[in-house]
Structure 1
């Protein structure tokens, strides 16, 4: 088994001063471990104060209880001057109508139809560096592939993908600066909403056309609705999958026993995907607001209090996962919370899992001796509680392009 070699903790921020803006991902994980050992519920003074849940059972229960832990008004802090993200930042019954817009886009049939296209995209990107013998897999594979998949899903033309990807990255990177975020969101919207307007004038057989014709809550979607909807697609389907893909590649190819295991039995690749998601969740957690008083492990949470649901902490709770810091291919029923839980579970999870599986399959096939040229993973926070590897340098025996 391969023991997780976490990046070293950063500055000595205590849990009382913790947020993704005051600590590195490594320091955050260390604080979660220290907190769980001392007390199950902590409190941070950041963002006007919030409770921090770190135990698996507490986080899962809160994630499933929307009547107590509301996703409104927003699930990230600080609060931004924007409309709620459809479905994600809405509670039932309103949530159901908006969630249907996402469910209609990501159906099992859609995933099956997209898989050969995603495999072809991955092959094309591998072709772009296969003769070099080295590359940074974040920029050459993990960033473009999820963006292309989401753009294919909604019907954005290939030539627009690079521009939209860059606009989305800039928007999410400005998450902590309300003024800058608003400016970046307007730039993102100017391009993406224009595409919906085009579909209204000239309909196609694609999801953008469906959005252009959709009525929700008795009205047609306006431009502000469309901006946040499309940002949600790009955020959930691109940003987070980029992080997960980088982590999966790093975890598998840096551990000889894990690498040998998936080579020997490719049926274990899905297990590797789930372990990477558990150990390295793209989002460390989301916020909720208490809609009524509740007590968690003898700690009183008052109405209106903010509560942080620590998915990353829950995913390494030894009460739920044996050897929680290890990457194990034999882990049964890996019930990690990296896609959330309850009514707000990520609708794009099947698409992300498919992309991760296919990327690993193709790298194993075409770069079998790939080596990670990164001694330890150094994750950063960007755009809220999103954790990512900024680079993943690798080397391998040069190969040939596909005919």
Structure 2
């Protein structure tokens, strides 16, 4: 089916349309007087303009995060906080706010640098590697697991099962199976803490009460999925995009190496241009109008973050990487009360990784050409691999 046909039939979904074609489609329908509509997933309106997406994300009373923020609907409990509205939202959001405080990025930075250097040492003598597999994939999972206190020996298996679970988002029956397999390795950690408490956040979770009751095993499964989905899956995608944008452009690479204070600007532009999630869903709690479109109670709306981040009314030459742009108010971490609590941690991880790569391999450059982005479960967007080359060097001290 051609792009024109897809625009006419409004049959968009991340399970049938790859990221590059999705971006083209978003632009093709952006100027429509009425909101675009897709017949997929029982039908939904699509918010693609920055102003509309930002406003809707800030109005949880009208645009609810329940029952779920991804489609199709899956056989699972709501993801804590993410798929809840006030007052319930506050009780569960506190779990993440207590785990990731304003001091967390600074306290975790030394551990993160050590992990990154360990991974660099595994390939620095070779001169080539797939930087996604070697470092962007494992580092965020290790960081999250270290933050909550998961046993280091269990991290690879937890990461493996988390990836398999997220990849099954579009198949409810398979997702249920993969979620159970993920729970086998994560809930065991909680049971261990109940028997033998330690000085870690896992022990706090093991003895925590929320909304007047003790957490059960199903709660722990979705909690760990939330930690790893936000803290691992999305950060891996962002890191891979950052590596490609910086190390495929020698002038940009050398500029950042000469002045590392500019790294945060580069990170924000990567996040704007290449959001790890293209968007989430909301459900209307009452009749509402967006522009000239009337939306009925119970209808679904897609919050198109990737499209909003490329709105030409807000961003000049929006499809280009430009770290010098004045406006970088992207929506890649969401907006409003459901904004990602791990955003400061993700930014720190990206910053430290780029600093270490620029220092360890100053001539590193991409050799695999322009990446082909893929959707992998829901609206998660990622690069499968980025091949790089560099002058082989001795291992870091």
TM-score (norm 2): 0.97
Per the alignment, residue 376 of structure 2 pairs with 382
Structure 1 residues 11 and 198, CA gap change in structure 2 (3 angstroms): farther
CA distance in 2, matches of 1:54, 1:258: 30
8 A contact 2:373–2:382 mirrored in 1: yes
Any runs of at least 4 consecutive aligned residues in structure 1 with deviations exceeding 4 A, and if so which? Answer: 9-12
- The answer to whether the aligner puts 1:363 opposite 2:357 as a matched pair is yes
Q: Distance in 2 between matches of 1:342 and 1:149?
A: 26
In the alignment, which of 108, 112, 115 is matched to residue 102 of structure 2?
108
* Residues 17-26 or 38-47, more deviating: 38-47
What is aligned with 1:134? Answer: 128
Aligned equivalent of 1:320: 314
In the TM superposition, residue 40 of structure 1 has moved relative to its aligned partner by: 6.0
Residue in 1 aligned with 2:305? 311
1:149 deviation in Å? 0.2
CA 1:150–1:374: 2 relative to 1, 3 Å = same
Per-residue CA shift, 1:75-120, capped at 9, x if unaligned? 0000000000000000011000000000000012221110010011
Note if contact 1:40-1:54 (Cα within 8 Å) is conserved in structure 2. Answer: no
**Kept after mapping to 2: 8 A contact 1:369/1:397:** yes
Q: Deviations over 1:280-300 (max 9, x none)?
A: 000000000000111111111
Q: Does 1:267 align with 2:261?
A: yes
Distance (whole Å) between structure 2 residues aligned to residue 54 and residue 379 of structure 1:
20
Q: Does 1:153 align with 2:147?
A: yes
1:192 and 2:186 matched: yes
Q: Is the 8 A contact 1:282 1:388 kept in 2?
A: yes
Contact 2:141–2:155, Cα closer than 8 Å, also in 1: yes
Checking the alignment, whether the CA contact within 8 Å between 1:10 and 1:24 is kept in structure 2 is no
- Relative to structure 1, is the Cα distance of residues 384 and 200 closer, same or farther in structure 2, using a 3 angstrom cutoff? same
Q: How does 1:28-177 map to 2 (within 5 A)?
A: 28-39=22-33, 41-177=35-171
2:19 — aligned with what? 25
Structure 2 CA distance for aligned equivalents of residues 79 and 240 of structure 1: 20
SS for the counterpart of 1:73 is: coil
Matched residue, 2:337: 343
Q: Would the aligned equivalents of 2:33 and 2:292 in 1 still touch at CA under 8 Å? A: no
Q: Alpha-carbon deviation of 1:333?
A: 4.3
Aligned CA RMSD, in angstroms, stands at 1.4
CA–CA distance in 1 between the matches of 2:156 and 2:189?
A: 15
Take 1:12 and 1:373, find their aligned partners in 2: how far apart are those partners? Answer: 36
Would the alpha carbon gap of residues 211 and 11 (structure 1) be closer, same or farther in structure 2, given more than 3 Å must change?
A: farther
Change (3 A) 1:63 1:213: same
Q: How far is the alpha carbon of 1:200 from its aligned partner?
A: 1.1
Looking at structure 2, the residues matched to 380 and 210 of structure 1 have their Cα atoms a distance apart, in angstroms, of 37
Structure 2 distance, partners of 1:170, 1:228, is 15
Number of residue equivalences: 395
1:163 and 1:350 mapped to 2: Cα distance? 26
1:313-334 alpha-carbon deviations (Å, 9 max, x no partner): 0000011112211211212241
Please give the alpha-carbon distance, in whole angstroms, between the structure 2 residues aligned to 1:398 and 1:260.
18
1:393 to 387, 390, 396: 387
Q: 2:46·2:302 contact (CA, 8 Å) conserved in 1?
A: yes
Please give the TM-score of this superposition, normalised by the length of structure 1: 0.96
Aligned to 1:219: 213
Q: Is the 8 A contact 1:11 1:27 kept in 2?
A: no
State the 1:201 CA deviation. 1.1
The CA deviation string for residues 146-179 of structure 1, in whole angstroms up to 9 with x for no partner, is: 0000000110011111010001000001111111
